[in-house]
C-alpha cells in the first residue's frame, strides 16, 4: 500500500461518507480506469458479480474492459449505511452495448477503507435490466453528474 491519502479519511461521519460516495461516483463517471484505480489500495480485493479481482493492476484492467463494453456509461450512487471505515451504497447506471441495446444496471456495494482513505475491499452485486432508449433517465453530458440532477431516491430508483 502507498502512503498516499485520499480524503475524506475514516472514521466516517454521515457528511464525510456522503462526500466519499460522491467522489467515487464522480471518479467512475470519468471512465478513466487508470485514474479510478488510484482510489484503491495496491492490494485491493474485489468481488464484482462473479469476478474476483486482486490488486490495483487487476482492478484497472477490469475497469478498462468494463468501459469498452458499457458504452455511454452514466452512474448515480447513494449512501445506504456507514460505520467507522465501511460504507454501503446502492447505485444504478445506464449504458448501451455496441449493438445499441440499452440497460440500467442496479447494484449494491460494500466498501472497506484503509486508514489513508483508499478502498481496500469492494464487494458488488449487480443486476442488468434491458431498457429502451426512451426509458433512459440519465441524460446529462458524459462525465460528472450535474449537482442539480436528481439522485436515485428522487428518480424513484
Domain 14-139 annotated CATH 3.10.450.50: yes
Give the pLDDT confidence score for residue 3 in this predicted structure.
59
User: In the chain, what are the domain boundaries?
Assistant: 14-139
* Residue spans of alpha helices (H) in 44-138: 56-69
Helices and strands in the chain: count of H runs, count of E runs:
4, 6
CA–CA separation, 124 vs 87, rounded Å? 12
Give the pLDDT confidence score for residue 13 in this predicted structure.
98
From first to last of its 157 residues, the chain has per-residue pLDDT tens of 445 899 999 999 999 999 999 999 999 999 999 999 999 999 999 999 999 999 999 999 999 999 999 999 999 999 999 999 999 999 999 999 999 999 999 999 999 999 999 999 999 999 999 999 999 999 999 999 999 999 999 999 9
Q: What's the whole-model pTM score? A: 0.96
CA–CA separation, 109 vs 54, rounded Å? 17
Amino acid at each position: 500500500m502507498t502512503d498516499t491519502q485520499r480524503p475524506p479519511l475514516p472514521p466516517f461521519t454521515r457528511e464525510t461518507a456522503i462526500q466519499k460516495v460522491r467522489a467515487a461516483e464522480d471518479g467512475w463517471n470519468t471512465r478513466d480506469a487508470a485514474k479510478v484505480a488510484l482510489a484503491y489500495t495496491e492490494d485491493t480485493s474485489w468481488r464484482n458479480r462473479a469476478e474476483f479481482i486482486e490488486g490495483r493492476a487487476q482492478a484497472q484492467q477490469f475497469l478498462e474492459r468494463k468501459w469498452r463494453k458499457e458504452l455511454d456509461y452514466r452512474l448515480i450512487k447513494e449512501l445506504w449505511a456507514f460505520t467507522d471505515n465501511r460504507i454501503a451504497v446502492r447505485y444504478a447506471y445506464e449504458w448501451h452495448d455496441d449493438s445499441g441495446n440499452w440497460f440500467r444496471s442496479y447494484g449494491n456495494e460494500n466498501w472497506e477503507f484503509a486508514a489513508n482513505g483508499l478502498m481496500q475491499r469492494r464487494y458488488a452485486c449487480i443486476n442488468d435490466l434491458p431498457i429502451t432508449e426512451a426509458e433512459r433517465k440519465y441524460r446529462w453530458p458524459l462525465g460528472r453528474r450535474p449537482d442539480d440532477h436528481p439522485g436515485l431516491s428522487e428518480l424513484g430508483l
